[in-house]
Structure 1
Amino acid sequence: MVASCISFVSLYGSFLRRSLTASGLCPQSVDVDAYTTIHYWGPKPQPASTVSPSSNGDHRKSSLVLIHGFGPHGVWQWRQQVSFLAPYFDVYVPDLVFFGESITKSSERSEIFQASAVGKMMEKVGVSKYSVVGTSYGGFVAYRMAEMWPERVEKVVIASSGVNMRPRDNQELIKRANVKKIDELMLPETAGQLRSLFRLAVINHVYMPDFFLNDFIDKLYSENRKEKLELLKGLVLGQHETPNISPLQQEVLIIWGDEDNIFLSDMAKELKEMLGKNASLEVIKKAAHVPQIEQAKTFNKILYNFLCDSS
């Protein structure tokens, strides 16, 4: 009876929101065009009279955008990074379209559309230069933002994100997960399917009862399921056996867990070569697909050093 009445996912979600509030962020929404609204956590808006006329709207800090992956929206994936980085950066954590409270009436579903929406969000809030960090699906979006706006995006971090994937990589992932279709893994509907995802995504496999996993699915995976399936099918990257990846103008840091079973570590090495001379790679030991959660201290140190290196 107790298990059916208490939502541990809702309780933890409340903790996450309090944590971001304690870091100086607050929830906000902005209409980026006539069809699309982006919800995000960001610095509290300042009265116009106190805003510096600098390119970032605040002369004291650089701006940083943290882009979440497929699954739980931003606050679930970046809490430890926000707590660590907020004293040094103006941190923005958007919900991608159809995640959290971000929504659109547009029929567009590609990662290019997601990148455009986040870029417009930053323009609307008055930030013209920023660095981007994207994990997993968010790495696809971060890559596209850097490609589309080299004059705006200063540095790029791609974490655990096979933007160089091929159709065969998807098929091999389906086999590793022991599922019939990729959406059974990325959009689990049952406790068993969610366990398959956790088995590949994290190293420490703590047993969780079905009621907890079902609560997780209900609160974080069920909403906008149809549209999220369309997002998976709408990816432009990953559709061809020869990846269409071009080097970026910006400095790029690739971060990977050495035991990632979603995107294998060989993909990280190949991606570094594809992105050219401006790219570097950091592999974090004892981490799988979410090193920002499993090895947060190491991840944060690597991230901070890269973002603050002026060389």
Structure 2
Amino acid sequence: MASMKLVLLFRRYLSIVLTLFQRLFSRLFDFPILVQIADSFLSLYFLAFCDLRPVTVDLDDGETTVHFWISGHRRISRPNLVMLHGYGGNSKWQFVYQVSDLSKSFNLFIPDLVFFGKSYSKNSDRSVEIQARSIVGGLRKLGCVEGGGTSVYSISYGGFVACKMVEMWPEMVEKLVIVSSGVGFTQQQKTAEMKKHGGDCSKMLVPKTPMDLRMLVKISMNTGLAFVDWVPDFILSQFIEVMYEKNRQELIELAKNLLEREEESELPVISQKTLIVWGDKDKVFPLEHGYRLQRHLQSSRLEIIKGSGHAVNIEGATTLNNLITSFVLSV
């Protein structure tokens, strides 16, 4: 009991010190320099330690630009792996725990989905289809889909995009990995899940305040939740500014389109071999949906990562990397 009181007292004084520090240097912290420095270090990590390089592709529609991280030295002996992220930031922040391992076994193609990171479009379409068309258009320009042998690993929102890619261009995708994705949720299921978290998709998926961001972390993760309580509000505000402010309205429209689309009530028909991975503590898309998806997809198997929530790519990254590598490389 005494030790707990000391911890609480320490946290209170630390909060006061950080608040004073923020006010003393308010001009500096008004500019999101800390998060931008961290983002730059992530880029350096991708370049120097993972042999990845940034490429920006202008599509033939004249409206869309897609940013990729791709393997700097592609090898014929390695299969191609496309990695599609979810809603929590750009591809760098979501896949930082995975790219080092996966780059040793695959030629990686890691796009920022449209309106995330450095990808953008003047097109007013906010559907999953526009995401799929943009990613495939970029992959074609990069020579990824030529000759087959390309697999897709997708998580959460990326799972919707991946399934649409397989539906529209089945010959391009050899194997599919779906992680913690609500593909096939009925309208009733989507409404029920939203009610559990307050019913406002914009606050949950596109946080505006530090409180919103803390809630997103709490919903997405099962372990490691305590660290976010120690992060000062001004740092969380900087993260929000860097990740969400530029395309906030477009991101909200993407989320609303996904939640309101009726055609998602039917699960997709996928013939490709599919690995489904779920965290047993997922609060966003409960594990029961993973079982439902596995029953629907005949050429699939379900792997459950114990102790992980929705953010399996962070909480169970090593296990997930091993599952993806063994599944895609197996003959």
| TM-score, normalised via structure 1 length | 0.90
Q: Distance in 2 between matches of 1:147 and 1:70?
A: 22
Structure 1: distance between partners of 2:183 and 2:283? 15
Instruction: Give distance in 2, aligned partners of 1:200 and 1:242.
Output: 23
> Structure 2: any 5+ residue segments left out of the alignment?
1-19
Q: Match of 2:238, SS?
A: helix
Q: Which moved more, 1:6-15 or 1:258-267?
A: 6-15
Structure 1 match to 2:71: 43
Relative to 1, partners in 2 of residues 1:286 and 1:14: Cα closer, same or farther, differing over 3 Å? same
Partner of 1:290: 311
Looking at structure 2, the residues matched to 213 and 31 of structure 1 have their Cα atoms a distance apart, in angstroms, of 32
For the pair 1:137 / 2:160, whether they are aligned, the reply is: no
Q: 1:80 to 1:280 in 2, by over 3 A?
A: same
1:270 aligns with 2:295: no
Q: CA deviation at 1:135?
A: 0.6
- The correspondence for 2:128, drawn from 94, 111, 121, is 111
Aligned match of 1:24: 51
Secondary structure of the residue aligned to 2:277 is: strand
What is the Cα deviation at residue 114 of structure 1? Answer: 0.4
Report the residue type matching 1:292 in the other structure: N
Q: Within the alignment, does 1:67 sit opposite 2:84 as a pair?
A: yes
Partners of 1:35 and 1:24 in 2: CA distance: 30
Structure-2 separation of matches of 1:199 and 1:59:
42
Q: Distance in 1 between matches of 2:257 and 2:200?
A: 16
Shift of 1:241: 8.9
User: Are 1:163 and 1:238, in contact at CA under 8 Å, matched by a contact in 2?
Assistant: no
TM-score (norm 2): 0.84
2:38 matched to which residue of 1? Answer: 12
Q: How many residues align?
A: 296
Q: Which residue of 2 aligns with 1:156?
A: 176
Code of the residue aligned with 2:194 in structure 1: it is I
Letter paired with 1:287: S
Q: Report Cα offsets for 1:194-226 as digits up to 9, x if no partner.
A: 121111101121213322221221111222011
Alpha-carbon offset, residue 87 of structure 1 = 1.7
CA contact 2:184–2:268 (8 Å) conserved in 1: no
CA distance in 2, matches of 1:180, 1:163: 19
Matched, 1:197 2:224: no
* 1:76-87 pair list within 5 angstroms: 76-87=93-104
C-alpha distance in structure 2 between counterparts of 1:151 and 1:239, whole Å: 26
- For 2:328 and 2:124, the matched residues in 1 are separated by 35
In structure 2, how many angstroms separate the alpha carbons of the residues matched to 1:239 and 1:103?
22
Are the structure 2 counterparts of residues 28 and 242 from structure 1 closer, same or farther at C-alpha, using a change threshold of 3 Å?
closer
1:80 and 1:185 map into 2 onto residues whose CA distance is 23
How do 1:236-247 and structure 2 match up within 5 A? 239-240=261-262, 243-247=265-269
**2: distance between equivalents of 1:71 and 1:132?**
19
Q: Which residue of 2 aligns with 1:249?
A: 271
1:306 aligns with 2:323: no
Q: Quick one: distance in 2 between partners of 1:121 and 1:292?
A: 24
Q: Which stretch shifts more, 151-160 or 4-13?
A: 4-13
Cα offset for 1:77? 0.7
Are 2:231 and 1:214 aligned?
no
RMSD: 1.9
CA distance in 2, matches of 1:59, 1:122: 17
Q: What is the rounded CA distance, in whole Å, between the counterparts of 2:248 and 2:240 in structure 1?
A: 11
Query: Could you tell me the percent identity over the aligned residues?
Result: 37
Q: CA deviation at 1:151?
A: 1.1
Counterparts of 2:39 and 2:210 in 1: how far apart (Å)? Answer: 20
Distance 2:165 2:263 in 1: 23
**Structure showing the higher helix proportion among its residues:** 2
Pair 125,242 (structure 1): closer, same or farther in 2 beyond 3 Å: closer
Give, in whole Å, the separation in 2 of the partners of 1:172 and 1:120: 35
Give, as a single letter, the amino acid of the residue that structure 1 aligns with 2:323.
I
8 Å Cα contact 2:105/2:325 also seen in 1: no
Structure exhibiting the larger radius of gyration computed from Cα positions:
2
Structure 1: gaps of 5 or more residues: 47-56
Post-superposition offset of 1:113: 1.1
